[in-house]
Amino acid sequence: MMSVKVKAVILAGGFSRRMGRDKSLVLWEGVPLLRRVYDVAAAVVGDVTVMTPWGDRYREILPADYHWLADERPGEGPLVALQQVLGESNPAEVDWIWLLGCDLPCLDGAILRGWVNHLENHFSEQLVAVARSQAGWEPLCGFYRPEVLPQLREFIAQGGRSFQNWLDGVPHVQIPLGEAEAEMLYNCNYLEEGKGE
């Protein structure tokens, strides 16, 4: 049993311009993308919330008792969503917010359990823990402490919306990324990529 308190929040914003529909509902090997991410997150940390403007939209594909958080500023991007999540998080109740995109069909529970264990054993003094691939930071499978909220608010107040730019300027630890981890972070952005669609 882990003593570090991690809450997973999956962003399910709805319509995807690149997919032409709600990517959360796109099937990957016969399972909706959102359900695949939800199941892995629940197996790793147990405490999972789906952030979406439409709480009822996913009732048919998620467990009956799933928790959801209403996105107060839909369409403004994941950095603004993280600001809301952190603002509603009590540091006495949660050590880390694990922010996840709904389009990560290849997540590996064993690898992610290792990452969560590192939060407690190696990253305890950090405010952000996130992997970096050749393409840049992987913020939608990253870990954020509620205490980083003031820096995030300031960045957004100055017009910042880029996760990449914010992460470059905030104290963080880089999660090591090997070949298996990089493959795990594949995100499905186009309808034809969904296996079984």
pLDDT confidence of residue 15? 56
31-45, 58-72, 112-126, 164-178: least confidently modelled range: 112-126
Mean pLDDT of the chain: 89
Q: What percent of the chain has pLDDT over 70?
A: 90
- The pLDDT tens digits for 6-44 are 999 999 975 565 556 788 998 999 999 999 999 999 999
Q: What is the pLDDT of residue 155?
A: 98
Per-residue confidence (pLDDT) for residue 156, from 0 to 100: 98
Mean pLDDT value across residues 166-171:
93
Q: Please give the Cα distance from 38 to 190 (Å, whole number).
A: 20
Token pair in block for residue 84: 């809301």
Looking at the DSSP bridge assignments, the partners of residue 132 are 137
Instruction: Please tell me the distance from the alpha carbon of residue 85 to that of residue 64, in angstroms, as a whole number.
Output: 22
Crossing angle for the helix pair 109-121 and 33-45, nearest 10 degrees?
40
Walk me through the domains of the chain, giving residue ranges and CATH numbers: 6-192 (3.90.550.10)
> How high is the pLDDT of residue 195?
55
- Cα separation, 63 vs 159, in Å, equals 37
Q: What is the pTM of this model?
A: 0.92
Per-residue pLDDT of 115-161, as tens digits, reads 999 898 777 778 999 999 988 999 999 999 999 999 999 999 999 99
Helix (H) or strand (E) holding 62: none
User: Would you say 128 and 143 are in contact if contact means Cβ atoms under 8 Å apart?
Assistant: yes
